[in-house]
Amino acid sequence: MMPNQPNRPNPDEPATIEEIEVMPAGHAPSDSGTRSDPLARAALESRPKVRYGDGAVIACDGLVRIYKLADLEVVALQGLDLVVEGGEMIAIVGASGSGKSTLLAILGGMDVPSAGRAVVAGYDLGRMSNTERTRFRRRVVGFVWQQTGRNLLPYLSAAENVELPMILDGRDDRRRRALELLDLVGLADRASHTPDRLSGGEQQRVAIAVALANDPSVVLADEPTGELDSATSADVFGLLRGINKALGTTIIIVTHDAFVSEQVQRTVAIRDGRTSTETVRRTEISHEGHHRVISEEYAVLDRAGRLQLPRAHVESLELRNRVRLRLEDDHVGIWPDRGDADAPEEKR
Ligand code: ADP
Ligand code: MG
């Protein structure tokens, strides 16, 4: 965050935080009148603050998370920016320790940012009351962890595990919905099995059904296929894709699996607590009628104009400390600083 930048360019900023905070049309005028009426206020609060497809469902702006240990500070996120549109399915990749799980924990309302902002489906995650936080975790997000054992209670059947979030949220008609969800994940015939009678892949399918129980806007999955063999992992990933298409649920999946990250429309790479590159894929149809996936890698430019150069570029030109920049008609050139002899002006 750079709060004191007088001439930060504004007009072209992506639709993000500011817009998300605005309640959908129709809410605002009646708000003031109902503020004193607890029932009306409760009804208002339980309404989704952003409708599906209303632009970005997730917006992180300069997100910072610092862990304070005894006499040490670990900066897990250092000014991370990320915008995810409703209905997107994206992969997040990055070396171990780069901040992926920290980001997901914040987006899931399980952890709070030290600075910066994260807004998910209209909820400002740094400013929620405890009541709002509980409601957010139950209704707005679903979580799937890598460890199969962390997703399910061992003494409950598959159906009971799926019912549990609905019980906590006071929903009716739970059993019917639990069975429907188990059917959706291909496990209708395992409803009465406890997790120890299910394979790892089946347990993750049940975990996905649990995550979907209260019809969340966003499913966050932290290496959900990390403990599965590649065939099972492809199945579970296919299921997530199917759910994203069929239900329009926004899905964020942290993964090390190249197979997974290559099959989503967008892969965001995190390096040292910041988004560094994004790979965007689209399908083109060739003259012969064949589908072909075009994949393009972009560096992420943050709102303050910073970008991370890919490590390979930095190494191949031995860029360090400072570089020369030059604005051309349609691009910006970067040169290593090797004294005046190599200055870009003289290359021309
Ligand atoms: P990833 O999921 O990408 O492997 P994490 O988000 O788990 O990365 O961790 C990012 C950094 O924060 C790492 O340096 C890690 O050691 C540190 N970290 C994560 N959780 C904690 C914690 N609870 N206390 C202290 N440091 C932590
Ligand atoms: Mg992790």
Per DSSP, the residues of 22-67 read SPPTTHHHHHHHHTT-HHHHHHHHHS-SS-TTSSEEEEEEEEEEEE
* This prediction's pTM: 0.79
Beta bridge partners of 118: 60
Sign of CA dihedral 225, 229, 235, 241: positive
Q: Does residue 204 register a pLDDT over 60? A: yes
Q: Say which ligand is closest to the CA of 223.
A: 2
Domain segments of the chain: what residues? 85-116+123-281, 309-348
Q: How far is the CA of 102 from the centre of ligand 1 (A)?
A: 6
Ligand 1 pocket at CB < 6 A: 67, 69, 74, 76, 94, 96-102
Query: What tens digit of pLDDT does each residue of 137-146 get?
Result: 999 999 999 8
Beta bridge partners of 277: 269, 299
pLDDT band for position 302 (cuts 50, 70, 90): confident
Query: What tens digit of pLDDT does each residue of 20-29 get?
Result: 333 333 333 3
Joined together, the tokens standing for residue 245 give 């298409």
Is the domain 85-116+123-281 a CATH 3.40.50.300 member? yes
Mean pLDDT taken over the chain: 83
> Which protein residue's CA is at the shortest distance from atom 18 of ligand 1?
76
